[in-house]
Structure formats: structure tokens, C-alpha cells
């Protein structure tokens, strides 16, 4: 049982998530995480991965002992501060794999077959004047996945029927029937499509740099459904403008919700507004898993999906 008003909800939640929260909890809301912490003795915070929580918020509220974030990525939390102060954290892994994989595959096909431009072509009646451009087939391509975790492995399984050759990189080699590369550059060199599904952390920051993009080459495509920080966006813009790579599909950006303007006028990109998990089914599952974690915390039980920091 979670006591009334003992959870501080930080940041704005989409309606579908707020409905789930209001069904199960009575929270106090702080819309701006940089705003003044409200009065009250909160034991836990509920937030979501698009809301960056500054450590000052926790400093102002020493009663907080747990934070539940809706999302599998937890780069929005001040991890060092939480660890140093023994504050627990939970995320929502697994329940969003289906939605994220479906989007990634949609983006991949949309980019290769130029589906958004094809629709514009029909709607603008340009079709009556000339045929649409010839595009590229996915079958036969070599697809490299950077980050063969829950989402990466689900993606690989879903891609198998598309008759592609799969490979991956990451810190550890897995018992998987795909070729393993020990570093991102050699994976990029060996594949036509590079799919990012790794976490945002110090090691992955700007991991996709000019050298990796050069290795991917002029026939190569980049799909990023991980985090914007994994890509050196300046290097990517140059690679796209100069056609050093064939194209990119990006769901995530360094500066959300105001991505670098340079991407907006390119014709070799497919851009989506960080919607990997944004289906009503998935958002309900994420919200409920976050609240299940809060319940476990209040009942002094082990968290269901604790972030091991
Ligand atoms: P996960 O199960 O923890 O998998 C992450 C994988 O990345 C692990 O296999 C890990 O390798 C690997 N990895 C770690 N450092 C790496 C590096 N330097 N290079 C390559 N791979 C590396 O996480 P998940 O549930 O699959 O989620 C992955 C990420 O997707 C999340 O962190 C989040 O940022 C992003 N995401 C985005 C959306 C969206 O809306 N676009 C939605 C959900 C998730 P080891 O197994 O060897 O440790």
C-alpha cells in the first residue's frame, strides 16, 4: 500500500500514462524538475526517461529514498548521487521491446524504400508527371547491431525472416548465431545497415563518430533508436550532407525536442520524435511496472526491476 501523497511525480506524463497513475496513486506533481521542490515528506519519486532529474532535487528532499523511472534508459537520473546516497532506482525493461522493435523495423524499411517521400509524391500529384525513384531492398543486406541486449536480441530475431545477415558488437560476446565484432568500427565496416540499441553512458557517448561513419561508407545506413548522445551529430550531418553514408533514420537526438536544424532539410533522413515506446499498450505496461516497483519499495520488498548502478 502506497500512502497518499507520499510519491512526488516529476515531469509531465502523456494522458495515457497519467490515467494509469491516477488509477493507482495519489501523487503530488512537480512539472519542472528544476522548479522548487514542494513541501512534503516524499519517500519516492515517479518520473519518465525524457525528464532529466538534477541531483539538486534530491539534495532538497533528503526524505526521498527511491526513484521509479518509466523507460528502460536511466541516463535521466543522477546515478552517482543516487549511489553515493543509497537511493534506489527502478526502470521498466522488457515491456517496451515490442514497440521499440516495431518502430526500428518500420524506420529501417521506411528509410530504404523512402516510404515518407513516396507518400508525399502521391499526395502532391507528382506521380502524374514522372515515376517515383528506385529504392533499395533489405533482403541480402548485412545488418549490424550495436548493443545486443534485450532490444537488440529481439530486433535480431525479428530481422531474421527478412533474409539479412546479422552481426553485432558490445562489451560481451553472447551465445548467439550471429557474427561478433569486438569494436564498432569493424562492425560498421562489415555491414550495410548499422542499428544502435545500446545505452547512453560515458563509453557510448559519441561512439558513432566520423571514423565509424566513414567505415559504414556511401552505401551504408544508420538507424538510431538508442539515444542521441551515442552519435556525434556534427559528424553525422557532414556524412549525410556529403553522402559519405547513404542515409539515417533517427528516433533520438542530442537536443530533444529541438533537434539540430541541419537534419531538417536533408532528403536522406527519416526522423521521428522519440516514439520508440509510444504506443498506448506499451505506455500502460511501463507505467504499471514503475508503480509495481514503487509498491515493492513501500512494502519493503525487493524492487522488481532495480537499476543496478
Ligand atoms: P539492455 O538490455 O541493457 O541492452 C543494452 C546492450 O548494450 C547490452 O547488451 C550491452 O552489452 C550493450 N552495450 C553496452 N555498452 C555498449 C557499447 N559501448 N557498445 C555496444 N553495446 C554496448 O537495454 P535494452 O533494454 O536493450 O535497451 C537499450 C537502450 O535502448 C536503452 O538504454 C535506451 O537508451 C534505448 N531505448 C530507446 C527507446 C526509444 O524510445 N527510442 C526506447 C527504449 C529503449 P552487454 O550485454 O555486454 O553488457
pLDDT tens, the chain, 309 aa long: 888 889 999 999 999 999 999 999 999 999 999 999 888 889 999 999 999 999 999 999 999 999 999 999 999 999 999 999 999 999 999 999 999 999 999 999 999 999 999 999 999 999 999 999 999 999 999 999 999 999 999 999 999 999 999 999 999 999 999 999 999 999 999 999 999 999 999 999 999 999 999 999 999 999 999 999 999 999 999 999 999 999 999 999 999 999 999 999 999 999 999 999 999 999 999 999 999 999 999 999 999 999 997
Nearest CA residue ID for atom 4, ligand 1? 149
The CA 130 to ligand 1 mean position distance, Å, reads: 43
CA distance 2 to 19: 17
**225 CA → ligand 1 middle, Å:** 10
Nearest atom (ligand 1) to Cα of 227: 34
Residues 174-195, buried b or exposed e (16+ Cβ, 10 A)?
eeeebeebeebbebbbbbbbbb
Q: What are the catalytic residues?
A: 227, 256, 274
The x, y and z cell numbers of residue 207, run together, are 561512439
Q: What is the DSSP letter of 36?
A: P
DSSP3 helix / strand / coil % (the chain, rounded to 5)? 35, 15, 45
Q: Is 107 in the pocket of ligand 1 (CB under 6 A)?
A: no
| Cα–Cα distance, 239 to 237 (Å, whole number) | 5
What pLDDT score was predicted for residue 229? 98
Which residue's CA is the nearest one to ligand 1's atom 39?
A: 276
Minimal-distance CA residue to ligand 1 atom 36:
226
Predicted pLDDT of residue 309: 74
Give the SS3 label for residue 287.
Answer: helix
Ligand 1 centroid–CA 93 distance in Å is 10
For the entire predicted model, the pTM comes to: 0.97
Amino acid at each position: 500500500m502506497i500512502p497518499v501523497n507520499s510519491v512526488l511525480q516529476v515531469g509531465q506524463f502523456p494522458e495515457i500514462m497519467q490515467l494509469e497513475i491516477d488509477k493507482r496513486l495519489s501523487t503530488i506533481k512537480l512539472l519542472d524538475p528544476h522548479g522548487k521542490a514542494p513541501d512534503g515528506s516524499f519517500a519516492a519519486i515517479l518520473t519518465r526517461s525524457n525528464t532529466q532529474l538534477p541531483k539538486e532535487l534530491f539534495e532538497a528532499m533528503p526524505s526521498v529514498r527511491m526513484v521509479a523511472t518509466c523507460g528502460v534508459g536511466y541516463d535521466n537520473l543522477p546515478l552517482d548521487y543516487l549511489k553515493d546516497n543509497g537511493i534506489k532506482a527502478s526502470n521498466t525493461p522488457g515491456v517496451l521491446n515490442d514497440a521499440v522493435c516495431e518502430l526500428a523495423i518500420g524506420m529501417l524499411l521506411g528509410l530504404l524504400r523512402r516510404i515518407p517521400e513516396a507518400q508525399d509524391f502521391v499526395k502532391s500529384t507528382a506521380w502524374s508527371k514522372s515515376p517515383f525513384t528506385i529504392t533499395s531492398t533489405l533482403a541480402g543486406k548485412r545488418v549490424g547491431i550495436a548493443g545486443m541486449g534485450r532490444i537488440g536480441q529481439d530486433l535480431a530475431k525479428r530481422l531474421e525472416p527478412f533474409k539479412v545477415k546479422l552481426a553485432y558488437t558490445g562489451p560481451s560476446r553472447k551465445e548467439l548465431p550471429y557474427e561478433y565484432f569486438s569494436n564498432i568500427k569493424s562492425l560498421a565496416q562489415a555491414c550495410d545497415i548499422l542499428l544502435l540499441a545500446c545505452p547512453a553512458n560515458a563509453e557510448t557517448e559519441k561512439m558513432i563518430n566520423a571514423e565509424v561513419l566513414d567505415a559504414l561508407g556511401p552505401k551504408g545506413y544508420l538507424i538510431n533508436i538508442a539515444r542521441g548522445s551515442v552519435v556525434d551529430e556534427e559528424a553525422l550531418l557532414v556524412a549525410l550532407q556529403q553522402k559519405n553514408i547513404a542515409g539515417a533514420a533517427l528516433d533520438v537526438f542530442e537536443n530533444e525536442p529541438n533537434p539540430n536544424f541541419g537534419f531538417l532539410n536533408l532528403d536522406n533522413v527519416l526522423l521521428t520524435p522519440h516514439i520508440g515506446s509510444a504506443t498506448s499498450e506499451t505506455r500502460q505496461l511501463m507505467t504499471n511496472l514503475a508503480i509495481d516497483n514503487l509498491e515493492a519499495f513501500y512494502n519493503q520488498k525487493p524492487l522488481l526491476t532495480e537499476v543496478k548502478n
